[in-house]
Structure 1
């Protein structure tokens, strides 16, 4: 016969087991993902503690923080016990974590391999559910001197205007550029439109002595390099 065990609220737990107290006593690295989220939401509901609620949310997303970082306030609010305010806290915290990764990019980055560019661009595209087109601006030593958003699109595509791209590159005195856009689907295979616009931009760059070194298709897990594949 299974014994019924009443679930206790966080305030009635042993002090060492409470997420806030645990963080103060032992440091943030000793907390589980569920305990960290429990601190953000503050309280659970009459049926489960904040930690139990956090575990349920994580379990729904297969304990994948990468997936959790992409969901909206509306998605989180569907969980019983998560109102708009709690959902906003979670989304804001995950966005801060993403931005921290972006600011950790070294100030001076020389692009020697396609992966160098990918690592700079990954924080830009991470967790987006729509397409964006960016360019990296490089000097004659292939050091990145800037990055610029060109356009935003929907789930299936975005527009990349050559006039805007080269105007920005010339204004920044770039010697070369790297094109980049993301595929929210996770599929890195270039579309016929991707191939067409790349060819057009490469040819335009040659006329201006402002060379297109590469075009990257970026996802959260991998990337496709037109340069590595011999398409530039």
Structure 2
């Protein structure tokens, strides 16, 4: 049994089939997703190589790295050859990738379209299993000064602390706001609560000459802009 297991170790493969050496000699972009995962787990099981096992794991998520990142340790360990240590390694690597995507350059990002808002916020809330409501604060050049989570969970008008939103806007010198929240259900249809929150914040901000420019609903793949749909 140990001999069968070791024959599928990466270090025992022919050099042309070794993902680590391929990355070193040909560059990271030449590797498939399965080969990259194989580097993380190093070995497969007695019946399949690390690459074959990685291919099977990816096939279970329809070859989606995003879906792979959502698998729990328990779900990963259901694959023969994936113990706790390997499951933790896969989870840690995908979490690093997610955090890398969240990092922003030091220069302030300018908002010139609803798509720009989506590109900023989707990595943060696009695939969450619960709702989160965020405020993006903009300066007079429509550049992002700050983005803050306002609430977590279902959205109702009573959960929106208007005073906190406007207090923060004044503190950071914002002249405009964009509201953003996600719908884990995947639906892009605004609820009555979504519309009520938009009206509530828009009316409150007007008293301080602060504009609410848009409200985006974000799902895992798409978004709806209140401004684009003339719902403001």
| Deviating more after overlay: 32-41 vs 15-24 | 15-24
- Corresponding residue for residue 200 of structure 2: 200
| Deviating more after overlay: 178-187 vs 117-126 | 117-126
Change beyond 3 A, Cα 1:218–1:86: same
| Deviating more after overlay: 186-195 vs 76-85 | 76-85
Q: What's the CA shift for 1:73?
A: 2.3
TM-score normalised to structure 1 length: 0.88
Q: What's the CA shift for 1:157?
A: 4.9
Q: Please report the RMSD computed on the Cα atoms of aligned residues, expressed in angstroms.
A: 2.1
Quick one: distance in 1 between partners of 2:97 and 2:194? Answer: 31
Q: Deviations over 1:8-34 (max 9, x none)?
A: 413332112011122112111111111
Local SS of the residue matching 2:133 = strand
Quick one: distance in 1 between partners of 2:58 and 2:52? Answer: 10
Runs of 4+ aligned residues of structure 1 deviating over 6 Å after TM superposition are: none
Quick one: distance in 2 between partners of 1:42 and 1:84? Answer: 14
Change beyond 3 A, Cα 1:175–1:65: same
5 Å matches for 1:25-104? 25-104=25-104
Quick one: distance in 1 between partners of 2:132 and 2:73? Answer: 22
| Deviating more after overlay: 97-106 vs 34-43 | 97-106
Change beyond 3 A, Cα 1:151–1:83: farther
Contact 2:133-2:155 within 8 A present in 1 as well: no
| Deviating more after overlay: 142-151 vs 121-130 | 121-130
Quick one: distance in 1 between partners of 2:206 and 2:17? Answer: 64
Contact 2:155-2:194 within 8 A present in 1 as well: no
Q: Deviations over 1:65-115 (max 9, x none)?
A: 222122222322222222222112112211222222222557222222211
Change beyond 3 A, Cα 1:83–1:218: same
- Corresponding residue for residue 221 of structure 2: 221
Quick one: distance in 1 between partners of 2:181 and 2:197? Answer: 12
Change beyond 3 A, Cα 1:172–1:184: same
Contact 2:155-2:193 within 8 A present in 1 as well: no
TM-score normalised to structure 2 length: 0.88
Q: What's the CA shift for 1:194?
A: 0.7
Change beyond 3 A, Cα 1:127–1:95: farther
Quick one: distance in 1 between partners of 2:66 and 2:130? Answer: 16
- Corresponding residue for residue 210 of structure 1: 210
Local SS of the residue matching 1:180 = strand
Q: What's the CA shift for 1:188?
A: 1.5
| Deviating more after overlay: 105-114 vs 201-210 | 105-114
Paired residues, number = 225
State whether structure 2 residue 162 is matched by structure 1 residue 162.
Answer: yes
Local SS of the residue matching 2:70 = coil
Contact 1:105-1:120 within 8 A present in 2 as well: no
Local SS of the residue matching 1:228 = coil
